[in-house]
A = this chain, B = another copy of it.
Amino acid sequence: MLLTKLETVRKRSEALIQPLEPDDLSLQGMADASPPKWHLAHTTWFFETFLLQPHLEGHQSCDPRWSYQFNSYYEAVGKRYPRPERGLLSRPGIAAILDWRHSVDEGLRRLLEKPSLELIQLVELGLQHEQQHQELLLMDLLDGFSRQPLEPCYDTKADLTTSVEKRRWLSCAEGLVKIGHGGKGFHFDNESPRHRVWLDCFELQSDLVTNGDYEQFIADGGYQRPELWMSEGWSCCQRNGWQAPRYWRGACEEFTLAGRRPREQRSPVRHVSWFEADAFARWRDARLPSEAEWEHARCIHNKDLRHAHGALWQWTSTPYRPYPGFTTAPGAIGEYNGKFMSSQFVLRGSCWMTPTGHERDTYRNFFPPASRWMGSGIRLAR
């Protein structure tokens, strides 16, 4: 079954570049993003470095310069090519990278003939990692395409199309609750340990904030009223000239993976930073939920919490920090999540670019408060 999943996930990465022109494969729109080709190579590097090199007898390592190029941030593995310049890596060409993918896949198949539990867990991590990069690939591509006058369309079917229904407030009583992953299935280290948190009573909206709502915020001077903003967010806004969500275009359009399209009033507003989400909530006399509130409400209200998954990640009010008792794995794998626990905020749920099956109610996504190229949206609490 793991072999099947391996094949499915690995093939999907390659399917993602099918709609692209060769010229798009090295596109890196900004320092925070990576080219499609790099994502394909890096996920392969991950398997080669953490699976094949230490565990597959007779494995021939790749050129160390490839390892240098395709290591993302693992200090324990060695130095890395500077992230903001990944778009300059015209070599290896895509053909060589696809060959590498296939030979690593072959190695993995050999390795999984009689796998130990440790290996199974590592492969599972590698696949979850690759799924994360599938979402990153799409986010990064949207960013890269958005910078071009020709406004390329990635795929007419790749856009989010959903509507928000009439919203109501879902109540939760105060109490000592448990959050975090406590079961046996796969989860990232940052989702555990499961632990107790005290929650005062609160309410969460049953659905997301819409484009229509957000237009009212703008019309009411949302981007001109410093009193609605964190000081840091206000500076960020001024410095970057923000007047609307990242991909809004003109009065009634937005840029998407399906090219420029009409902006639907009833669709959830997306590609907003934490600063914008926070300011919007304040304007509405509401606030963002804490991640514990989100997780607990999801547990209590389940499907009544619409668009919990599959539409947009939802900003929480919670800075990304370790859960009480959090520990990291030894070695490079321990760098996966733990070292990013400062100056970021947690997002909960998942988005339309998240691969199916990758979402989890305990999932902790995280981004700096000024980021807005990912599939982020707003759910209000009070």
Contact = CB atoms under 8 A, between A and B. Distances in A.
Nearest to A233: B342
Interface residues of A, number: 65
Nearest to A339: B231
A278 B343 CA distance: 14
A81 B176 contact: no
Contacts of A24: 90-91
B26 A94 contact: no
Contact of A227 (B73, B76, B229, B318): B76
Interface stretch (A115-123, A194-202, A300-308): A194-202
Interface stretch (A126-134, A144-152, A157-165): A144-152
A41 to B, nearest CB: 12
A229 B91 contact: no
A222 interface: no
A321 interface: yes
A25 B90 CA distance: 8
- Most chain B CB within 10 A, of A69, A150, A196, is at A150
Contact of A149 (B29, B68, B144, B278): B68
B230 A341 contact: yes
Contacts of A81: 149
B334 A200 contact: no
A22 interface: yes
A234 B144 contact: no
A52 B42 CA distance: 46
B227 A150 contact: no
A71 to B, nearest CB: 12
Contact of A90 (B21, B73, B230, B369): B21
A335 B227 contact: yes
A90 B27 contact: yes
Contacts of A63: 150
Contacts of A91: 21, 23-24, 148, 150, 152
A89 interface: yes
28 contacts: A21-B91, A21-B93, A22-B94, A23-B25, A27-B90, A29-B88, A63-B150, A65-B149, A75-B234, A76-B227, A81-B149, A85-B147, A88-B144, A90-B152, A91-B152, A92-B150, A176-B176, A176-B198, A196-B200, A197-B198, A200-B324, A231-B335, A232-B343, A278-B342, A317-B321, A319-B319, A319-B321, A342-B369
